[in-house]
Structure 1
Amino acid sequence: MNRRDSLKLAAVAGVSSFVPSVLAQAAAPAPGPLRILILGGTGFTGPHQVRYALARGHKLTLFNRGRRPKEWPGEVEELVGDRDKNDYKALEGREWDVCIDNPTSVPFWVRDAGKVLAGKVKQYIFISTVSVYADTSKPGMDETTALHTYEGPDAMAETNESMRANMALYGPLKAASEREAEKQFPGITTILRPTLIVGPGDETDRFTYWPARIQKGGEVLAPPPADPVQIIDARDLAEWTIRMAEQRSFGAFNACGPDYELGMGAMLYGIRAVTTAGAKFTFVSADFLQEQKVAPWGHLPVWVPGQGDSAGFARTSIAKSLAAGLSFRSLATTTADTLEWFNALPAERRAKLRAGISAEREAALLKSWHEKDK
């Protein structure tokens, strides 16, 4: 059996062995029904939280601006408010067992939510990011690793707009939001720090670029195969979040996957094993990509160099989270479901990926790389 055959076999085994365990886990009722308030709930991970929580027998309330109504497989209370305008009137005088805060990236959202919900919830779960860590140069970062410190004039004056205008603020503002969460909800805060969230429904295309590109076949430009990768399926994050509420687990936890070190090459071959296109990978060096001004994470999604300042970014420790029940779908399952979702999108949407490089740029880079060897 060659490497390609073994990867295909692993992919098929991953799909067939995983599906029953997921269905059994989702169908099993929780130890007791919880009243769960989700701030957001209609974005990427929120709908997965809602469906899983309903399957587990919980009672759901969503609070958002009401701009993206959904159909749910059960009864869901939906309240309307605008956090940018400190409009939390719909939450006043109410109590819940758990509040899950999905979309917050700026501290004043946490502060203002705390003014209404402090003393009204028994657990506050804040979805953060591994980007809060100040030093990503060392492999094995765990939850005790030092966080970014916001160095601007006033963290509470920062808005989503100011953060998007300067993405260097993203990590520091998330870290400041974590600190505000612990201030507003002392002793009952759970902080989950995911890496890149992937899977069907991801409108950023940051992971989708690779399955979409690979299913086209042909020669695929790829970064160094040994550089590590950490991703998490949105459904794995969502379902674990609900279980963390059921367990009343407090503290900070890294939410990265899988539970082994995955290289960029292994990820790409694993994706290819789900398709029939027979794409051929041309792995190029990080130095070449830097010379050609190809940005990690942006131009070539998922990838960050496995050396230097980012040597530890995709080698984050998840030992604490595994002990707390974090589990993962197989790469094959995530890939197949992502492709099914992507292929069902309108043709004009599929033609304009929101991450990655264009076909023309890829062809030019491949030509330059091959000419170096002449």
Structure 2
Amino acid sequence: MKVLFIGGTGNISTPSSRLAVNKGMDLFILNRGKAKVDIEGAHSIIGDINKPEELTELKKHEWDVVVNWIAFTPDDIERDIHLFKGKTKQYIFISSASCYQTPLSYPVITESTPLHNNLWDYSQGKIQCEDRLQKAYREEGFPITIVRPSLTYDTVIPIAIGGFNKYNTAKRILEGKEIIIHGDGTSLWTVTHSDDFAKGFVGLLGLQTAIGHAFHITSDEVLTWNMIYKILADALGKEAKVVHIASDFICKVEPSFTGTLLADKAESVLFNNSKIKSFVPGFKATIPFSEGIKRTVKWLKENPAHQYIDEDTEAKIENVLKAYKRL
């Protein structure tokens, strides 16, 4: 099976790339060559998908599956439909679980939960992409499958403030500084290791019964945010000095946190994974956060260049803490 990944060397996609190769797929990875990640056994195409006129290599192939890991706007989708219509048997768009109804009217999310999030431009863009793809599927037979990851991690720290590709909160824990947990920390969330995500995702590649369908792929482990931060602190070998601050207050002081809080992580969410399990029999997430985050912390210690401290984020954390204490 000949598969094209547009992207394929990021936090979520790298384990999927490696698993696809291990499963015997003929994998081609198109990217700009900036990520220093080697996927042994995959073919590399160096280029920019936004400059398709320069991608002569793409014109030589027809694909069983095309996956775009880095499409964010309807223009990206229009470009891909033009490039791959009649050239692939399946086109997989990586959307986001942040597209689901916000705020939720019912806390258990299935793939039929409405898509509605007016609080975050990122989510709105993904919803618009899905809308365009559904139209292409209905009217033109463009063979789509949509995948909606939630908070998925491997080489990043999956927390709400000062994490993901930033090392700010981890460093604050290590230095004994105060960190922020939104709300009272008792709302529920799910974090998923990229290796677990890959098991479900790779099972969808080339699966013709998945055409026209959408899936989310997450762990079944449910944790409070208090537990997520405690487990992170334990992995760092320190005790976190926590300050609980209401999400509304955080976003009033620093509106730039709205996307990661009010638009995504401020309320409890439970994912029903029945659909991916029915289409990919045997899929099961097996890496608990307590194990997965230790891997992440170990990787970051071994790769200190990725311990990125964003000074703007640091200033915003301090500003929120000061504003809260002034009350």
Q: TM-score range by the shorter chain?
A: 0.7 to 0.9
Q: Tell me: CA distance 1:303–1:41, structure 2 relative to 1, closer, same or farther (3 Å).
A: closer
Q: Offset of 1:79 from its aligned partner?
A: 2.3
Is 1:176 paired with 2:128? yes
What does residue 156 of structure 1 align with? none
Contact 2:254–2:320 at 8 Å: present in 1 too?
Answer: no
Contact 1:194–1:254 at 8 Å: present in 2 too?
Answer: yes
Residue of 88, 97, 113 corresponding to 1:145: 113
Contact 1:264–1:303 at 8 Å: present in 2 too?
Answer: no
What does residue 198 of structure 2 align with? 238
Contact 1:101–1:127 at 8 Å: present in 2 too?
Answer: yes
Secondary structure in 2 aligned to 1:121?
coil
* Counterpart Cα distance in 2 of 1:57 and 1:353: 44
Deviations 1:310-356 (A, max 9, x none): x6xx3344332344425252102221122122223447954447756
Between structure 1 and structure 2, the one with the greater Rg is 1
Q: Tell me: CA distance 1:84–1:359, structure 2 relative to 1, closer, same or farther (3 Å).
A: closer
Is 1:53 paired with 2:11? no
Q: Offset of 1:128 from its aligned partner?
A: 0.4
Residue of 269, 276, 290 corresponding to 1:321: 276
Deviations 1:271-294 (A, max 9, x none): 233232233434344465466557
Q: Tell me: CA distance 1:198–1:286, structure 2 relative to 1, closer, same or farther (3 Å).
A: same
* Counterpart Cα distance in 2 of 1:96 and 1:108: 22
Secondary structure in 2 aligned to 1:274?
helix
Deviations 1:229-254 (A, max 9, x none): 23332333334221221654341012
Contact 2:45–2:57 at 8 Å: present in 1 too?
Answer: yes
The 5 Å alignment of 1:112-151 reads 112-138=79-105, 139-148=107-116
Residue of 269, 290, 299 corresponding to 1:332: 290
AA paired with 2:200?
Answer: W
Deviations 1:178-210 (A, max 9, x none): 233344453732111112332315799337555
Is 1:194 paired with 2:143? no
* Counterpart Cα distance in 2 of 1:69 and 1:275: 26
What does residue 101 of structure 1 align with? 68
The 5 Å alignment of 1:69-84 reads 70-74=37-41, 76-84=42-50
AA paired with 1:278?
Answer: E
Is 1:253 paired with 2:221? no
AA paired with 1:214?
Answer: I
Q: Which moved more, 1:221-230 or 1:194-203?
A: 194-203
The 5 Å alignment of 1:346-361 reads 346=304, 349-352=307-310, 355=313, 360-361=318-319
Query: Normalised by the size of structure 1, how large is the TM-score?
Result: 0.69
Contact 1:298–1:356 at 8 Å: present in 2 too?
Answer: no
AA paired with 2:132?
Answer: E
AA paired with 1:192?
Answer: V
Give the root-mean-square deviation of aligned CA atoms: 3.6
Secondary structure in 2 aligned to 1:96?
coil
* Counterpart Cα distance in 1 of 2:276 and 2:203: 12
Deviations 1:80-106 (A, max 9, x none): 443323434322241222111110012
> Which consecutive unaligned segments of at least 5 residues does structure 1 have?
1-33, 151-166
Query: Normalised by the size of structure 2, how large is the TM-score?
Result: 0.78
Is 1:222 paired with 2:174? no
Is 1:343 paired with 2:309? no
Q: Tell me: CA distance 1:255–1:353, structure 2 relative to 1, closer, same or farther (3 Å).
A: farther
AA paired with 1:333?
Answer: E
Q: Tell me: CA distance 1:181–1:81, structure 2 relative to 1, closer, same or farther (3 Å).
A: farther
AA paired with 1:243?
Answer: G
Q: Tell me: CA distance 1:228–1:356, structure 2 relative to 1, closer, same or farther (3 Å).
A: farther
* Counterpart Cα distance in 2 of 1:361 and 1:169: 24
* Counterpart Cα distance in 2 of 1:146 and 1:361: 35
